[in-house]
Amino acid sequence: MMGGNNDILGINTQQWIYDPLPINISTSDTYGLGMQPTGNQQMPSIAFDALTGWLNIAGDASNNVVKQTLTNNGYYQLDIDGHLFSSDRSSSSFWQSLDGAIGDNVVGINFDGGLGNDTLILGSQAHQQNFQVIADDSLGIQGEVHSESVFFKAKDIVNQGKVVAHNITAEFSHSYSDEATSKMSASNGGSILLNGEGTGRIEAKGDYEAIGNSGGQIEFRGKTVDLIGAKLDASGDLGGGTILIGGDYQGGHSNSNRANAESTSVDANTQLLANAKDLGNGGKVIIWSDRDTDFQGDVQANGGRKGGDGGFVEVSGKKSLNFVGNVDVDAAKGKIGSVLLDPEDIIINTENVAYYNKLKGNVTLVADNDIYLFTNTSFVPSSGTLTLSAGGTVNLFGNISAPQHNVKITAGAIVGYGSISSSNGTGKAGYVWLESQREIDLNVGSSTIFTESGGSSGNIGGNITLKAGTTINAGFLTAAGTIRGGNINISAIGDIVASTLRSFSIENTGGKIDVVSTSGGININAYVSSYGLGGKGGAITMSAYGDIISNDIHADSSQIGNGAKVELTSQTGRIDTNGYQISATNTGNAGSVILKAYQDIVVGDIAAYSVSSGNGGKVELTSQTGRIDTSGKQIATSASNGNAGKVILNAYLDIAVGDGVSAYSGGGGNGGKVEITSQQQGIKVGNIFTKSWSGDGVWNGGKVTLKAKLGSIDGTVESGDIITTSVNGNAGAVTIEAGGDIEAGSITTTSITGNAGNVTIKAISRIKVGNVDTFASNNGDAGDVSLLADDDIETLAINANVKGDGAGKGIGGTVKLVSKMGDILTD
């Protein structure tokens, strides 16, 4: 430190060294008016150009030290190697070539020290205009320098004083350092630039501020930048400013010739502030290096207390980042800001996880290579998006808990056994998005993804999206909300395997579930479900190039509302629910169930019925080259008080519906149509009910058509009934055709107030059927009965007459039994 007029400041290439040496100054060794140097002394070159305002100083081959000060009345005074020179004519040290160097007359100082290692030291001074200082070696700032703008340039710069100007620039080729008591202040939101890019080193301990109504800009450029207990403040009443340490956003900048820092360090006692104090958005803070960054400090870019959003903070080293500091981009009355960390690799472990957990708002972790999560993370609940992006692999060996956040992970591959949750027990959950160029491989048995919204009504579950360039293995996925469940979308080129897919809503609608494999299969180990406890179920769609295998599939409404559509399509494989149920039931309208496969379709119960005042849903199953088998279970599309849904089954091979088809209307609607077709083999079906039972209005029974081109039809059932009866309308017709035998139970197509349905049975081989009733009551016509076979025909009673109170007003049906080569046996 300077100790007064008798101290001399020296410098080496590593650090400032202060060596107080006594100097005895007298008239005999001072270059004063009319005096000349004696002995071997050289005349210094000092020249002030009054026209340009520049003071030029040239040294000799020795290590010159020049101390520049202003006298109380504004005259320039130079101490050169212990010799005084003054611009004050009344001073004994007056130097003619300094004449006129007074206050604002001087706009710049240029010191060319010659061949030695020279030092220029600035004392206190004030200027009303721009002020520049250029030194070829070392520049020291000891006093207070005030000006409209200041420009310093030297090989080495040491700031021990205070600089106040609207714009401050310090350029250096070797080093810049300061003291903890030093300060640079860019008034009215101006700018501070320490520019040693490419070669210079920065070691900053002092205060740097660019505050105003709107925050200004503070930028440190150097080969290495070290902040040690420094404070950088670019805050503003109406908006935060900009702080750039080591580089700009992701190391980029508008000037491609600008070099970034190779390494940057920010210690635990350093603060960087770009806050909006009153109203406005937080500012931008970038801490960057092209190699290694060590961040332990405190960064704030907050929105204003009366309004405004949080700012943007990036902390990164292109190669490596040690992140053990604090970043705050909060906003009291606005949106929380954004945080970006983007080194070559990111490793989150027990040593640094606490600092990551404090991050709020839009938090982005970007790695050129890999991201490793070795421990559980629990981020502070806040809005915004947590993004993990890796050019290589994101390794989830710990859990991610980010309440309210959206969670987005993109990478070359996503692997591990960790779980992800954006759930919020008291509010809205965020979405979860996983996208991989290759595989997503999470533990099917233990990993979970939860996006559940809780609390008061109106909250929506977060959506879950998984996309992979190859395969997906996932565990339990749940997207729930009070007003609506979240959507679940899974897509991959290869196989998709998951344990459970579940979306539900407490008050209203389940979310949509969509699973697509363009070149592989789909295997859901447990179940797929989208239901609304107080509203509609959500649609479920699965499409695969290969097999689709799942257990239960539910798109139900548990209380009131509609069921939703279930649609499964396999382009080259089979559909198999392992004998478990597919349901789209409800108290309102049931959803439809549509299954299409190239090979077999093997399912359990298919429930698309309505238990209250809605309509039943359609069931359509198509196997292009295989069979259809309900594993001894039933297909139900009935409606208690509405229209029943139709049932269409079409297979190349056998069709087996062991427990039959229930497509009746309990009242106020039509029975559902049933069409079952086997192109090459047989049909085995239990009871078929398509009746319309009661209700005001005219309601018809559903038509039943069973066709087998080859093989046989075996229609035996426990009750032996195919019932298409209508109470207040027309009964449905029954048509059975087979290339082989036909064996059916009783067939009833009666009507009380309308027409009965016709019964037509055609077989290449024999026909065996129970009672056939096609009679009509009151005013309707009875149905015709036609049995045609090449072989035997065996039947119980056939009743095709008209009876009841209105008997005689309708027309009885015709009965036709024809056997080409066999016998006809009737009861």
Strand runs (DSSP E) across 149-275, as ranges? Answer: 149-159, 162-178, 183-204, 207-209, 217-227, 231-233, 242-245, 263-266, 271-273
Question: Is the per-residue pLDDT at 508 higher than 90?
Answer: no
pLDDT digits (tens, 9 = 90+) for 767-791: 999 999 999 987 889 999 999 999 9
Mean pLDDT for 370-396 is 93
Mean pLDDT for 296-306 is 97
Question: Is the per-residue pLDDT at 257 higher than 80?
Answer: no
Whole-number Cα distances in Å, 282 to 168, 239, 273, 304, 516: 23, 6, 9, 7, 43
Say what percent of the chain tops pLDDT 70.
91
Distance (Å, rounded) from C-alpha 271 to C-alpha 608? 64
What pLDDT was estimated at residue 15? 32
What pLDDT was estimated at residue 695? 65
pLDDT digits (tens, 9 = 90+) for 752-770: 889 999 999 999 999 999 9
What pLDDT was estimated at residue 10? 34
Nearest to 670 by CA among 691, 687, 696, 688: 691
Question: Is the per-residue pLDDT at 736 higher than 70?
Answer: yes
Q: Are 431 and 420 in contact (CB under 8 A)?
A: no
State the virtual CA torsion across 316, 320, 326, 328 in degrees, nearest 10.
20
The band of 517, judged by pLDDT with boundaries at 50, 70 and 90, is very high
Any idea where the domains of the chain sit in the sequence? 1-179, 633-827
Mean pLDDT for 373-377 is 95
pLDDT digits (tens, 9 = 90+) for 612-624: 778 988 999 999 9
What pLDDT was estimated at residue 714? 58
What pLDDT was estimated at residue 151? 98
The more confidently predicted of residues 711 and 218 is 218
In the chain, what's the furthest Cα-to-Cα distance? 154
What pLDDT was estimated at residue 674? 97
Q: How many CA atoms lie within 13 A of 549 on its CB side?
A: 13
pLDDT digits (tens, 9 = 90+) for 20-64: 333 333 333 333 333 344 444 455 689 999 999 999 999 888 898
pLDDT digits (tens, 9 = 90+) for 144-158: 999 999 999 999 999
Mean pLDDT for 151-180 is 97
Mean pLDDT for 379-408 is 92
Question: Is the per-residue pLDDT at 7 higher than 70?
Answer: no
Checking DSSP bridges between strand 522-532 and strand 496-505, what pairing results, if any? parallel
